[in-house]
Structure 1
Amino acid sequence: MQLVELDLSRNDIPEIPESISFCRALQVADFSGNPLTRLPESFPELQNLTCLSVNDISLQALPENIGNLYNLASLELRENLLTYLPESLAQLQRLEELDLGNNELYHLPETIGALFNLKDLWLDGNQLAEIPQEVGNLKNLLCLDVSENKLECLPEEISGLTSLTDLLVSQNLLQVLPDGIGKLRRLSILKVDQNKLIQLTDSIGDCESLTELVLTENQLQSLPKSIGKLKKLSNLNADRNKLTSLPKEVGGCCSLNVFSIRDNRLSRIPSEISQATELHVLDVAGNRLTYLPLSLTTLKLKALWLSDNQSQPLLTFQTDTDPETGEKILTCVLLPQMPSEPVCQDNLPRCGALESLVNEMSDETWNERAVNRVSAIRFLEDEKDEEDNEMRTLLRRATPHPGELKNMKKTVENLRNDMNAAKGLDSNKNEVNNAIDRVTTSV
């Protein structure tokens, strides 16, 4: 009865007896990782309990009178089968941590807004289609995680979370963020990746404490000019969107350290990027860039990625002149970025002697598609006539597999024997053998 802490986690206990209610001094209890499906009805009588962990126990429902645990400060219910929350949960006025991640919640009660002392709220991995506007009453909330749900919008009242530092809304169905997000002046981390964002609100520039902004895998075609007001931003990731341009104001992000805009539709990078003097990593691979601004040479870059198969983080650049604008630019072997195009097989030169020999062989011995596989190396220079372009195209035919070469040699030898038997002429024998030997040697 004087027991203060009880840890029974990761066992095979199928049931907690009702007699646990006699442990009136119990403050910390951990029953996580057991094959439990319910908590005893007498459990809420443990009114000195401050920390309760029941993660991963196949719990389907909480006791309706869970609110009687009025001293509870931390409640962990992650990885269960909860489909709803009892109304009495709102009575846990001292609750600071509530973890409901990876359950089956379809609805969050409005009474969630009554947990005024809540600092951390995890709702990730549920089935939530909306967040009640009452969540804006949680003035002390520091971290809100609603990622991996089915949210199509966030309430405008989210602006009331004035203490919020971490907002995680990854893997939802959001098309826009509420303008009220600009009132979250303490927000440091915002993750909105894997949504359906078609635009980013201008008010994002008012999140003056933002250090990390993740916008990966959305439908953004542009970034707002106000993004340049984020003076503390150190990590900006907008990979795999539909960006066609960047605002020159992005150079105002004076603390930017990592800027990743891989797999977009950018044709140029604004020269003002050089104003972000702390920039060390720039990833622009998978775009449509024809050149880079000369101003990049003023940055102390440690990595500049232009291609997926780039072996070194930095490349050697040459100074050139843009023929259209006349401005000085940077270029290298990987610029301009061009999408790979399939080569028309009909226009490829045939490989005479080997081709005719292969055509007489069975599909089992040699795959014709493998023979026709060709790598083309093209040099992009000033436009000239097609004939000149074809002359400056190097074609490399596929190298046969050693096993295929062995089969080819065997076929050639059989062909030699058949031809010798068919001809039966000593006068032509040496000539035929010499011709086939030349083919065999080349193979």
Structure 2
Amino acid sequence: MWRRIFLCNRQIESVDKSHCSLSAVPDQIYRLHRCLEELNLDANQIQELPPQFFRLLKLRNLSLEDNEIKRLPMEISSLTKLVELNLRQNEIYDIPEAIRFCRSLNTLNLSSNPVERLPDSITQLRNLTYLMLNDISIVELPDDIGSLVNLTVLEARENYIKVLPKSICELTVLERLDLGANEIQELPDSLGSLLHLKELLLDTNQIKKLPTSIGRLSNLESIDLSENCVESLPDEIGNVRNLTDLLLSSNLLQFLPSSIGKLRNLSMLKLDINRIEEISATIGGLMSLTELVLTENCLKQLPGTIGKLGKMNNLNADKNFLTSIPSEIGNCTNLTVLSLRDNHLDHLPSQIGKLKKLTVLDVCGNRLESLPITVAQLNVKAIWLSENQSKPSVKLLPETLSDGKTEVLTCFLLPQQPLPDEISGL
């Protein structure tokens, strides 16, 4: 597609030749060297950029994503007006030092190339605000990465980085830092200097702890530390008052600090696959929480203050050692999914009947003899009582217990039978 825009009697040309099965840059492109400012050649089979390509001196936006380019020539230095350069998903193994002459660059995407080392001169691109280095092959970031003082987004996911340079904490206007899927073991103590940070993505590393300076990140909205080796959180986590998402799945946590209850804006808390034995009663302070995932921990009970989580719509506490559920669960009137499978529950509180928005109740793999009669008041779409259950719901029938007073609901799947491994353990 060829676009011409007339602005103040000045012709600006933009060319989009993406997805055209091109094996080379079309010759007609070079005829536009006096006016071409935007060029999109994404998703072709282009293997090289010939010398005449670098006569397109007016280029501001250049996208070459998803091609077969193996080499970025040093002539890139001619394109001094480039503001955006997208080289994602090629076969480029080396970035020339001459990249430093592209001083107008605002956005540079080198992701998904076999680049093993960044040029030293990359930190001279002081106008960079977006730098994407995902899925290349680097083992380190430049020591002077902090020189990129205008950087707001730094992504270096899926690399082999083990140690972070101290200067990374000098990126004081950084808003998004994505270092997931590396080999990082330790975070710098001065991480709290990144005062504008909103997203901190560090999943799938080998991090054991967060620095206490995390508490200074008052603008932080999202932390992803899933699949690390975190054993505890600092009390200062409670000072990150704008936090909405806290993802801590697959770590080594045994408890949460009581200060967690100060996170009044927290919407999502994922703590699955840890070693947590007890949830602090202060969790009731998470008045904005909508999703709480506690799957695969060592919990024997939930605090009654869970009933204060009035906005929660999803509670998953599968694969714990829960013997009961607090009656206050009935106050979580926005719950739509309640999953408690593979615990040691022998009864559910009657207050569960207050959960008028509940659509899914999963209590497979417990020790329930019956369900409270109040479950009949619910309009649930699925009640799961057994792994062998063929349909999401079964016909529940009222029954009076031997005391002659208590009414319950039962069916052919109740009472639940203990699992084979539970029987062998008796």
TM interval, short-chain normalised = 0.7 to 0.9
Runs of 4+ in 1 over 3 A off after TM superposition: none
> 2:353 corresponds to which letter in structure 1?
S
Task: State the match for 1:130 in structure 2.
Answer: 209
Task: State the match for 1:252 in structure 2.
Answer: 331
Deviation per CA, 1:359-381: give whole Å up to 9, x if none.
xxxxxxxxxxxxxxxxxxxxxxx
Deviation per CA, 1:381-410: give whole Å up to 9, x if none.
xxxxxxxxxxxxxxxxxxxxxxxxxxxxxx
| Closer/same/farther in 2, CA of residues 341 and 109 from structure 1, 3 Å limit | closer
Residue of 158, 161, 164 corresponding to 1:85: 164
The Cα of 1:341 is off from its aligned counterpart by: 5.8
> 2:206 corresponds to which letter in structure 1?
Q
Residue of 46, 71, 95 corresponding to 1:16: 95
Q: Does 1:96 align with 2:175?
A: yes
Look up the SS of the partner of 2:399 in the other structure.
Answer: strand
Look up the SS of the partner of 1:190 in the other structure.
Answer: strand
Task: State the match for 1:441 in structure 2.
Answer: none
Task: State the match for 1:203 in structure 2.
Answer: 282
Q: Structure 1: how far apart are the matches of 2:339 and 2:155?
A: 35
Deviation per CA, 1:310-357: give whole Å up to 9, x if none.
111111111111215730010100000012669xxxxxxxxxxxxxxx
Task: State the match for 2:368 in structure 1.
Answer: 289
Two-structure CA RMSD over aligned residues (Å): 1.1
Q: Does 1:143 align with 2:222?
A: yes
Q: Structure 2: how far apart are the matches of 1:133 and 1:37?
A: 33
Identity among equivalent pairs (%): 51
Deviation per CA, 1:86-135: give whole Å up to 9, x if none.
11111111100000101111110011110000000001101111111111
Task: State the match for 2:303 in structure 1.
Answer: 224
Q: Structure 2: how far apart are the matches of 1:237 and 1:49?
A: 42
Task: State the match for 2:387 in structure 1.
Answer: 308
Contact 2:327 2:351 in 1 (8 A): yes
Residue of 139, 144, 149 corresponding to 1:65: 144
Q: Structure 1: how far apart are the matches of 2:313 and 2:371?
A: 22
Residue of 319, 342, 347 corresponding to 1:240: 319
Structure 2, unmatched stretches of 5+, are: 1-79, 422-426
Residue of 345, 357, 366 corresponding to 1:266: 345
Residue of 185, 200, 203 corresponding to 1:121: 200
> 2:231 corresponds to which letter in structure 1?
E
Contact 2:126 2:147 in 1 (8 A): yes
Q: Structure 2: how far apart are the matches of 1:324 and 1:248?
A: 22
Q: Does 1:74 align with 2:153?
A: yes
Q: Structure 2: how far apart are the matches of 1:269 and 1:319?
A: 16
Q: Structure 1: how far apart are the matches of 2:175 and 2:373?
A: 52
| Closer/same/farther in 2, CA of residues 227 and 325 from structure 1, 3 Å limit | farther
Which stretch of structure 1 is more off in the superposition, 151-160 or 311-320?
311-320
Look up the SS of the partner of 1:272 in the other structure.
Answer: helix
Q: Structure 2: how far apart are the matches of 1:131 and 1:90?
A: 14
Higher normalized helix content (fraction of residues): 1
Q: Does 1:326 align with 2:405?
A: yes
Look up the SS of the partner of 2:361 in the other structure.
Answer: strand
> 2:192 corresponds to which letter in structure 1?
G
Aligned residues: 342
Task: State the match for 1:165 in structure 2.
Answer: 244
